[in-house]
Homo-oligomer: A and B are copies of this chain.
Amino acid sequence: MCELQVLLVAGTHGNEINAPWLIDQWSNNPSLIDVSGFSVAGVLGNRKAFNCCRRYLERDLNRSFSSALLTDSSINDYEVLRARELVSQYGPDGTDPCQIAIDLHSTTACMGSSLVLYGRRPADLALASFIQASLGIPVYLHEADNSQKGFLVESWPCGLVVEIGPVPQGLLEANVIRQTKMIIEVCFEEIAKIRSGNNSPPNHLIVHRHIRSIDFPRNSNGEIIAYLHPELIGKDWYPLSKDMPIFVEANGNIIRYLEDDCLIPVFINEASYMEKNIAMSLTKRELWSFKPVWLNELNELIG
């Protein structure tokens, strides 16, 4: 077997503090999370933003890994410099290379524990399939969205985002710490089993495929004029139905979902997405057959 090192990133967004706290405790007490058969590089993604409990200082670090930003020497925002630093140190061709990146996030949306994939990279699909088979958690496949790009994990040949919520920004929360720890442990176990060949792949992967995002209703000045209907809060991963209330205006007027297509919302009311004009994203749930080629690609990387 080749050497394998997994990059475990916490605090890519500086106000998502549960994973950074856990990784920090783990570095003080290595028995907290077992790793066997490979190395793990645990890093704090955005230290400056973490120190002042903000998502970012100049630019969202998790939108700073596009090849345009990584290579344009005229752009020197703190987060772009940090993205280049992470790639040059831990990238697959870096000085301390990693082959897989796990990027730990939290959200104010009621997502539970979930995985996010960016595009249909076979190795990502393989790893997500094994984790889903172990934990049963949903997978959000983010693709075909030109307004959102440059995600951290895209700079590694295999990489997943873990999203856990609901939790306010800047708050340590027992349940989120516990879920983050559990999902890290399962990721490590599944990677170790895949490497040892002791793991038969599941038959299927259930994906929630990104269709589009919808914004809050706004007036002509761009100001938000309605909030999310309380019946929708907590309904991430549940299909919308026609005429379901989705927004409420200040005067009580209800705005309904008018489509026949029962799309499935995720990231309902993620606080930091207001600035991205996203009130929620809509997905389609699909059952995909596991493809041996996915595992082949993952094995080539880590086997």
Chain A contact residues, CB within 8 Å of chain B: 21-22, 24-26, 29, 32, 53-54, 108, 166-175, 177, 223-225, 227-230, 233, 248-251, 269, 271-272, 274-275
21 pairs of residues in contact across A and B, judged by CB atoms under 8 Å: A21-B227, A21-B250, A24-B223, A25-B249, A25-B250, A32-B251, A53-B271, A53-B274, A108-B170, A108-B171, A168-B168, A168-B169, A168-B171, A170-B271, A171-B269, A171-B271, A173-B227, A173-B233, A174-B230, A174-B233, A175-B230
**Whose C-beta in chain B lies nearest to the C-beta of A269?**
B171
Evaluate contact between A32 and B250: CB separation under 8 angstroms: yes
Evaluate contact between A250 and B169: CB separation under 8 angstroms: no
Evaluate contact between B172 and A29: CB separation under 8 angstroms: no
Q: How many copies does the complex hold?
A: 2
Evaluate contact between B168 and A108: CB separation under 8 angstroms: yes
Neighbouring B residues of A29 by C-beta, 8 Å:
250-251
Distance A66 CA – B177 CA, assembled complex (angstroms): 39
Neighbouring B residues of A272 by C-beta, 8 Å:
170
Neighbouring B residues of A171 by C-beta, 8 Å:
108, 168, 269, 271
Evaluate contact between A21 and B224: CB separation under 8 angstroms: yes
A169 in contact with B170 given A32-B250, A32-B251 (CB within 8 Å): yes
**Whose C-beta in chain B lies nearest to the C-beta of A249?**
B25
Distance A172 CA – B22 CA, assembled complex (angstroms): 29
A22 in contact with B250 given A169-B168, A170-B271, A170-B272 (CB within 8 Å): yes
Distance A184 CA – B233 CA, assembled complex (angstroms): 25
Evaluate contact between A26 and B174: CB separation under 8 angstroms: no
Distance A118 CA – B174 CA, assembled complex (angstroms): 32
Neighbouring B residues of A54 by C-beta, 8 Å:
54
Distance A21 CA – B248 CA, assembled complex (angstroms): 13
Evaluate contact between B26 and A250: CB separation under 8 angstroms: yes
Distance A168 CA – B173 CA, assembled complex (angstroms): 12
User: How many Å from the CB of A218 to the closest CB on chain B?
Assistant: 12
Evaluate contact between B228 and A174: CB separation under 8 angstroms: yes
